Structure 1
Amino acid sequence: MLIELDFESDIPIYKQLKNQIIEGIATKQVQPGDTLPSVRSLASDIGINLHTVNKVYGLLKQDEYIQIHRQKGAVINPQGIPEADDTFRSKLEQEMRPLIAESMCRGLDKHTLMQMCRQYFDDIQGE
């Protein structure tokens, strides 16, 4: 899995890294049971602070994408990622509503927004 961060982006580095790891899981570039690089190794490889990587691993653990083992380090959840539940759906709504509202304010119609969502979904799914 190739990590590419945009240091000039308005999106914080930790969010970019978290999103790219999640996309790597979604696209099956990393599989359940695969080990992620150590905090120090990943920080060094991509040129960021190790506390940033540690924060990302903590967030991924909290959301059950990874497990942290003393000997193995960060491992993609061997049982797979839990299914979307009410808590996840609520979080998704909290994140989507402002994006949809902003899109409407900027003149994007429903058809265009839905088309974009389908495009991104298909891109990640590999179609």
Structure 2
Amino acid sequence: MLLEIDAQSQTPIYQQICNQLIIGIATNKLQPGEILPSVRQMADEIGVNMMTVSKAYTLLKNDGYILTDRRNGTMVAAKQSLDPPFQARFSRELELLLAEASIHQISETMIQEKIKQIYQKFE
């Protein structure tokens, strides 16, 4: 999976890496047990500092999306069950996003249609 980094984006590069890998896992482009490039390889492939990739991998590991093993490298973790900390973060972030949608006058119907359209990519 080749990542696309936008150096002009306001989203930090480590977050762009995290976001794209999470989407890759959710859309099954990355399978559980699949080996990811090493920090050095990934940094070379996308043209960023190794510390940036290391930060992304650390965050993904802490959230349970990837596993690291000194012998086997970094790999995609199995899909997770719903846990209370994720549920709380999901609710907080969704509430903020829906508040912004309300400010921009996006209707509930439009929001529901968009959610359905996006969620279908992950099934």
Whole-angstrom CA distance in 2 between matches of 1:2 and 1:109:
35
Residue of structure 1 equivalent to 2:120? 122
Where does 1:19-98 land on structure 2 (aligned, <5 Å)?
19-77=19-77, 80-98=78-96
Residue of structure 1 equivalent to 2:100? 102
Task: Give the root-mean-square deviation of aligned CA atoms.
Answer: 1.2
Amino acid paired to 1:88 = F
TM-score (norm 2): 0.93
Whole-angstrom CA distance in 2 between matches of 1:114 and 1:6:
29
Amino acid paired to 1:99 = L
Unpaired segments ≥5 residues, structure 1: none
Whole-angstrom CA distance in 2 between matches of 1:97 and 1:4:
28
Sequence identity (%): 38
Deviation at 1:28, TM superposition (A): 1.3
Deviation at 1:21, TM superposition (A): 0.6
Amino acid paired to 2:16 = Q
Unpaired segments ≥5 residues, structure 2: none
Whole-angstrom CA distance in 1 between matches of 2:70 and 2:13:
26
Runs of 4 or more consecutive aligned structure 1 residues displaced over 4 Å after TM superposition: none
Whole-angstrom CA distance in 2 between matches of 1:16 and 1:73:
21
TM-score (norm 1): 0.90
Alignment: residue pair count: 123
